[in-house]
Amino acid sequence: MRATLMYGAGDVRVEIVPDAHLIEPTDALVRVRRAGICGSDLWPYKSMEPTESGRRMGHEFIGVVEDVGSEVKTIKARDLVVSPFLWSDGTCVFCREGLHSECLHGGRYGFDEVDGGQGEAVRVPQADGTLVVLPVGADEGLMPSLLTLADVMGTGHHAAVAAKVGPGKTVAVVGDGAVGLCGVIASKRLGADRIILLGSNPERATLGQEFGATDVVRERGEAAVERFAS
């Protein structure tokens, strides 16, 4: 199958690699329909030391399940699923506290012989704890929007929840990138009365207003604070 590998800063290649396949009874095999490029991919793209073997890329993807291991209970073939950027068992002491990134039996895509999301298929370890079934058909028109659930929408939503956004609140979203815009969506869903988006990109500001921002502030520092108070 084809997959994307990074061999060093600025050196990204699409190559033929061994087909993804089940190894553990808790695995699922997912045929990737859409994969994202994360801002965190830019760090190794700018600074990774050269390597002869390359490193699999991609940690946000959606796809259709092709097969599952004998111990997988909640996922079945032909399910459309989304994966978060890490895999986890969902049952350890940290997962039960909502700290899936600290899972005792979890890990990262592209490491320890686990496929990366920017490939034709992925072996997903701990499938029951990791994958979420999407209750929609595999409509091509929905794929770009559904892909945001793999990382960026969850990040924006978590930020809004952590900030205790709710009805009657005024919210300042700092930054009009993908996470910031998803933070606007989440704040709107959580009932915020006023949503102030700080950003300087006109197209993103327009999107932010479509998503629910009531104000757009282009200033920074003290000038931005003065705008908030007005």
pLDDT (tens digit per residue) in 120-145:
999 999 999 999 999 887 777 888 88
Tens digit of pLDDT for each residue in 23-74? 999 999 999 999 998 888 889 999 999 999 899 999 999 999 999 999 999 9
> pTM for the full model?
0.85
Helices within the chain (DSSP H only): 42-47, 93-96, 127-130, 143-147, 152-162, 178-189, 202-211, 221-229
> What is the rounded CA–CA span in Å between residue 102 and residue 21?
26
Residues 6+ apart with CB under 8 A from 191: 165, 166, 167, 168, 169
Domain assignments of the chain as residue spans, ordered by start: 2-150, 152-229
Residues in the chain: 230
**For the domain bounded by 2-150, which CATH number is listed?**
3.90.180.10
pLDDT of residue 229: 67
**For the domain bounded by 152-229, which CATH number is listed?**
3.40.50.720
Tens digit of pLDDT for each residue in 157-203? 999 999 999 999 999 999 999 999 999 999 999 999 999 999 989 99
